Structure 1
Amino acid sequence: MTRFDAMTPTADKTGAQTGAPRSVNRILQIFDDLCSRPTGASLATLSDSLGIPKSSLLNLLRGLLASNHLAFVDGLYQLGPEAYGLASAIIGTRRYLGVTDLARPVMRRLAEASQETAVLAVMSGDRSAAIYVEKIESPNAIRFSATVGDSRPLLWSAVGRVLLAFQVDHWLNEYMRTAKLVRHTPQTEIRRTRLRDILEEVRRNHVAVTADQGTRNVSGFAAPIFDGSGNLVAAVG
């Protein structure tokens, strides 16, 4: 019995139950099964494991591929980037729940003073992006729109640069050596040496400033939040 089956005692292996729609239960079963298969599984393997007919299963898999919740590599279905992003957002929100409670009053004052949207961000579980875990939107009709769970590039967002700047040097050096540099706008900084210098400036000054880096016509300011031991917990911007 899978973890998701355990949450719906009346469900049978094919997904028939008195609670959730069959397709919802089957999607959860797919995720649950693939969590235990890091290298992925074929259509036949998933069909046998879940007891779902191949034709019905294939329709679900196609939808999950289209949304990037699954990936298809060398004939095997694997968890995709959107699935990992969702997992990171859920874990991050739960882990930093206390921080959001403490940061929320400060974020409200920041949004009121700047008349801009304030966000709280943490590093994703795989340390590939900044994830918004809280937001206070600007009162203005025209404003930066942020959604809890959204991810932002580490090198080209203010919160991302804060989260990067306070990582240990050996990890940061390796990240900077291997990071894929993508030009999001004509002004995006893609010189590795310059980006490393910028992160050192953020570490010294405890503030990051970006303009037209990840998104055209969008500027950002961010600062770190530390715990009582001086460890970075989140970035507010």
Structure 2
Amino acid sequence: MPSSPAPASGPTPAPGPTSAHPRRLPGGPVLQDSVTEAIALAFFEELASAGYARLSLEAVAKRAGAGKAAIYRRWTSKLDMTVDLVSAVAVTTSGTIDTGTLRGDVLAFLTEVADALQQPLPARIIPDLIAEGHRNPELAEALFTAVRDTRRAKATLLLERAVLRGELPTNTDRELALDFLAGPLYWRLAVVHTPTGRDYLDRLTDKLLAAFAA
């Protein structure tokens, strides 16, 4: 989301399974990873193609080459599936890498966000989910709790490390700093769709550090 949008330095992995191990339903069979992976990939492709409002579990199952029952063994509804898969990817790729400096941490954070927003699937999915959230309060609340709040909590660690190092004052406005950290890059890449130049993230990092210190 914007504080992401939905979104470690380096390329953001493509959406994938929510677990590295097979899942077992209570009193039921093991859910095979290969099927879960196929469904997850099909879900993200269908979500990017159709959007949340027109997304159907039947279409996801058909794209995955699986039965609709396979989906219901894993998720109870379209909302449940969306929140589970989107939050798993968004939170997993929300890095808290400690580079040793505030500048290095901010640059790593911005690099992660830029990588995510410039990939084909996230570039189409994130704006759609945000727009849909305005029409669907239940979806918005679920994603805010699972994605936005978790990512902002992780990003706060970046600021707290800087305070402990003495790079930021203890009275730094964390809420405003988090908005600065996420807002400009999201606006550029997801809203006005303007590519970044080679040194753009470095220049943006310097501007953010100046704002934090003001």
TM-score range, shorter chain: 0.3 to 0.5
Q: 1 or 2 for the larger relative contact order (CA 8 Å, sep ≥6)?
A: 2
- Under a length normalisation based on structure 2, what TM-score does the superposition of the two structures give? 0.34
Considering only CA atoms, is the larger Rg found in Structure 1 or Structure 2?
1
* Structure showing the higher helix proportion among its residues: 2
